[in-house]
Chains A and B, each alone.
Chain A
Amino acid sequence: MSKRFLTTAAVFAAATMTASVALAQQPGVTADTIKIGTFGALTGPGYLYGKLPMNGVDVVFDEVNKAGGINGRKLELIREDDRCDPTAAIGAVKKLVDQEHVFAIVGGGCSNATFAAKEALETSKVPTVIFASVHDGITTPPAANIFSTATTSTIESQAQLAYAIEQGAKKIAIISMRDSWGRARYTPLMEAFKAKGIKPVADEELSPDANDATAQVLRLKAAGADAVLMLLYPKPAAVFIRDGQKLGYKPLALGQTGIADPAAFEDQVGVPGATANFRTISQVRYTPEDPKVDKWRKLVETKFPGDRLSVYNLFGIGASQVLVEAIKRAGKDLTQEKVVNALAEMKDFQTDVYAAPISCSKEDHRCNKSPAWMAKDPGGPVKVLGYTTVGK
Chain B
Amino acid sequence: MLLFSYLLMSGVTTGALYALVALGLVVVNKATGVINFAQGEFFMFAGFVAWTLHVQFGMNYPLSFLLAVVVGFVLGALTDRIAFRPIDKNDIVSLVLATVGISFMLKGLARVIWGGKADYLSFPPITSPDPIMVGPIMVIPQQLAVLAGTLIIMLVFAAFFRLTRAGKMMQATADNARAARLVGIRTDHIYTLAFGTGAAIAGAAAVLTAPLTLLYPDIGFTFFLKGFAAAVLGGLTSLPGAVLGGLIVGVVESLAGGYIHSSVMELSPFIVIMIVLVFKPTGLLSFHKARRV
14 pairs across A/B with beta carbons < 8 Å? A44-B218, A52-B116, A204-B261, A205-B263, A207-B266, A209-B222, A212-B10, A212-B254, A214-B9, A234-B119, A238-B120, A268-B214, A270-B124, A271-B129
Among B239-290, those with CB < 8 Å from A are 254, 257-258, 261-263, 265-266
Contacts of B262 in A (CB 8 A): 204-206, 215-216, 219
Tally of chain A residues near chain B (CB < 8 A):
43
Q: Within the assembled complex, what's the spacing in Å between the Cα atoms of A207 and B6? A: 20
Q: What mask results when residues 36 to 60 of chain B are scored 1 for a CB within 8 Å of chain A, else 0?
A: 0000000000000000000000000
A308 within 8 A of B: yes
CB A354 to nearest CB in B, in angstroms, measures 20
Q: What mask results when residues 106 to 146 of chain B are scored 1 for a CB within 8 Å of chain A, else 0?
A: 00100101011111101011000111000000111000000
B111 touches A43 (CB 8 A): yes
Contacts of B149 in A (CB 8 A): none
Q: Given A215-B258, A245-B131: A264 and B119 within 8 A (CB)?
A: yes
B213 within 8 A of A: yes
Q: Given A178-B263, A205-B262, A216-B257: A306 and B116 within 8 A (CB)?
A: yes
B3 within 8 A of A: yes
Could you count the A-B residue pairs with CB atoms below 8 Å apart for me: how many are there? Answer: 107
A207 touches B265 (CB 8 A): yes
A139 within 8 A of B: no
Most B C-beta atoms less than 10 A away, residue of A204, A248, A304: A204
Tally of chain B residues near chain A (CB < 8 A):
44
Q: Given A214-B254, A270-B125, A270-B129: A205 and B265 within 8 A (CB)?
A: yes
| Beyond A238-B120, A268-B120, 12 additional pairs, beta carbon < 8 A | A51-B116, A207-B265, A214-B7, A216-B257, A218-B6, A218-B7, A233-B119, A234-B119, A238-B214, A246-B139, A271-B131, A306-B113
CB A383 to nearest CB in B, in angstroms, measures 21
Q: List the 4 closest pairs (A to B, CB-CB), nearest first.
A: A307-B116, A215-B257, A214-B10, A215-B258
Q: Within the assembled complex, what's the spacing in Å between the Cα atoms of A48 and B216? A: 11
Q: What mask results when residues 209 to 223 of chain B are scored 1 for a CB within 8 Å of chain A, else 0?
A: 101111011110010
Contacts of B6 in A (CB 8 A): 214, 218, 247
Q: Within the assembled complex, what's the spacing in Å between the Cα atoms of A307 and B121? A: 13
Closest residue of chain B to A202 (Cβ to Cβ) is B262
Instruction: Please report A residues at the B interface, Cβ cutoff 8 Å.
Output: 43-45, 47-48, 51-52, 55, 178, 204-207, 209, 211-212, 214-216, 218-219, 233-235, 238, 242-243, 245-248, 264, 267-268, 270-272, 304, 306-308, 310, 312
Instruction: Please report B residues at the A interface, Cβ cutoff 8 Å.
Output: 3, 6-7, 9-10, 13-14, 17, 108, 111, 113, 115-120, 122, 124-125, 129-131, 138-140, 209, 211-214, 216-219, 222, 254, 257-258, 261-263, 265-266
Q: Within the assembled complex, what's the spacing in Å between the Cα atoms of A245 and B214? A: 17
Contacts of B257 in A (CB 8 A): 215-216
B140 touches A242 (CB 8 A): yes
Q: Within the assembled complex, what's the spacing in Å between the Cα atoms of A243 and B125? A: 16
CB B123 to nearest CB in A, in angstroms, measures 9
B130 touches A235 (CB 8 A): no
Q: Within the assembled complex, what's the spacing in Å between the Cα atoms of A209 and B215? A: 11
CB A283 to nearest CB in B, in angstroms, measures 15
Contacts of B131 in A (CB 8 A): 245-246, 271
